[in-house]
Amino acid sequence: MTALGRARALLGGLRPRLILAFVAVGAIAAAAAAWASAASAGSALVEQTQRQFAGEIERTVTATAPGLPYPPDQAALDRLRVTVGGPALVTYGALRSASGPGLAAVSPELRAATGETGRLLVQRVESDGVLRLVVGAPVMITDLNGQRRPSGVEVYAVRDLSAVREQVDALTANASRTSALALPIAVLLALLAARGVLRPVRDLRAAARRLGGGDLGARLRPRGSDELAELAATFNETAASLERSVGELARMEADARRFVADVSHELRTPLTTLTAVAEVLEAEAGRMPSDAREPARLAVEESRKLARLVEDLIEVSRFDAGVATLRPEEVELRAAVRDCLRSRGWLDQVELDAPGELRAVLDRRRLDVVTANLVGNALSHGAPPVVVRLRGDDTWAYLDVVDHGPGLPDDVAAHVFDRFYKADTARGRSNGSGLGMAITAENVKLHGGTIGAGNADGAGAHFAVRLPRWTGEQP
């Protein structure tokens, strides 16, 4: 997996996403609050400074106006400008008195508005990278009738707001630092919140794994009354229902196995008698009339099939009950396989490929069953030549049976070791019980080995058995 893929897998989990979401919300909220506070404080600072400057100029002009001659001359305008202090412009008609930097910030629009309204006006102007406050104040005079009117004298004062801007910038920097300091706190809170939210999810995952592993008693303890608690309660109900269903199925399966075992054992005694009668009948078949000979032969054949079926059912019931055991002994595999073939009259039909002596500690009887079932299956459903190949290493013995028939279709290979499985469903009856391959697999498994079915290159069906050479104590 590439680094990008690992990163995507890591970030794709619920925990990272919850943490990222909590951190993002916390950081954004902290940043928004800090910046809003900084903006509000900065605006209040500017407004306060603006009111302070405007108030000072208004009080100065109001206090100085009664002492001005009217109409004023240039000297009067100069005195008023000096009284106002700082960069200032005083006008009366064509007369002007100006001094100080930044007077270019006094715009024609502000002058026109001040003259027209007769009120104190304030304007913030930024020029050459410097923020300045421009205050326009008309000088008012009082007539004999007590009415106030503009005298035509106008005062324009300019004040530098750089210091205020620096204070606002400092507030903004503090807001940034506050946001940065809030980030680790947001991460900590996110971890705690994610832990609290994900704890029920982790408990659910653990309980689901226990349930999937076969622990049908796995349950959750619902906490609270939220959606996660409802999910835990639903899981418990599902697990309880599954436990009841599995228990019922296990009981039914146990009853079925016990029934098969009981019936098989009950049939064994009468079948022994029936088999003995069939053998007598077979011996006398040659002296029977021709019309009775065929029914006698069928009766003998069916009696033997029934006897084999009962024996196979008894063997399967032993595996199901867990009472099947091994009787390991030292076995020379080549000789054991040859004896199996000889006892069934298959030596002329089967090729034994065993290059050398191969010893192992196995259950000889069960090895005979495995070999006989595999070779018998190859002879019945495959085509000659049938080859039995033996190989071994220090740990394992390998038994392969290969025929040269049509082979096994994929769907058949997947079920060939199932009980009562028949590749041709239309074939209602067969020479076997339908349990031979299942018994073969159980015997291999009992040894701690493995068995597989497939097709060999250039041949037909291939059954591969692997058995441990030292099932019991090595001699």
Q: Is the dihedral of CA 318, 323, 326, 327 positive or negative?
A: negative
Residue 218 resides in a domain: no
| DSSP code string of 77-114 | HHHHHHHH-SSEEEEETTEEEEESTTGGGS-HHHHHHH
Instruction: Give the CATH number, domain containing residue 271.
Output: 1.10.287
Residue 212 resides in a domain: no
Among 288, 325, 251, 309, which Cα is nearest to 435's? 309
**CA dist 36 → 25, 30, 43, 180 (Å):** 16, 10, 10, 15
Q: Are residues 23 and 84 in the same domain?
A: yes
The Cα–Cα gap between 151 and 92 comes to: 9
Q: Are residues 234 and 290 in the same domain?
A: yes
Q: How far apart are the first and last CA of the chain?
A: 49
Cβ proximity of 139 and 65 under 8 Å: yes
pLDDT tens string 12-41: 455 566 666 656 666 666 666 655 665 666
Q: Is the dihedral of CA 68, 73, 77, 83 positive or negative?
A: negative
Torsion angle in degrees (nearest 10) through CA of 247, 253, 255, 259: 180
Last residue in a domain, options 300, 320, 340: 320
pLDDT tens string 246-277: 888 777 766 666 666 666 566 666 767 766 77
Residue-number span of the structural domain to which 453 is assigned: 326-468
Residue 96 resides in a domain: yes
Residue 240 resides in a domain: yes
Q: Which stretches within 382-421 are classed as H helix? A: 410-413
Instruction: Give the CATH number, domain containing residue 451.
Output: 3.30.565.10
Q: Are residues 273 and 399 in the same domain?
A: no
Burial (0-12, 13-18, 19+ Cβ within 10 Å), 172:
middle
Q: Are residues 428 and 361 in the same domain?
A: yes
Q: Are residues 314 and 355 in the same domain?
A: no
Among 454, 447, 459, 466, which Cα is nearest to 403's? 459
pLDDT tens string 299-318: 777 777 776 776 767 777 77
Q: Are residues 331 and 313 in the same domain?
A: no
Cis check for the bond before 385: say yes or no (omega within 30 of 0): yes
Q: What is the pLDDT of residue 412?
A: 84
For 329, the enclosing helix (H) or strand (E) is: strand 328-332
Q: What is the pLDDT of residue 1?
A: 47
State the total domains in the chain. 3
Q: What is the pLDDT of residue 32?
A: 63
Mean pLDDT of the chain: 77
Q: What is the pLDDT of residue 441?
A: 92
Q: Are residues 385 and 404 in the same domain?
A: yes
Q: Are residues 316 and 389 in the same domain?
A: no
Give the DSSP letter of residue 65. Answer: G
Q: What is the pLDDT of residue 318?
A: 74
Q: What is the pLDDT of residue 55?
A: 78
Residue 114 resides in a domain: yes
pLDDT tens string 356-405: 889 999 999 999 999 999 999 999 888 889 999 999 998 999 999 999 98
Whether pTM exceeds 0.75: no
For helices 436-447 and 364-381, give the axis angle rounded to 10 degrees: 140
Last residue in a domain, options 274, 290, 320: 320
Q: Are residues 41 and 152 in the same domain?
A: yes
Cis check for the bond before 328: say yes or no (omega within 30 of 0): no
Q: Are residues 43 and 138 in the same domain?
A: yes
Last residue in a domain, options 152, 168, 184: 168
- Residues of the chain below pLDDT 50: 1, 4-5, 7-12, 425-430, 473-475
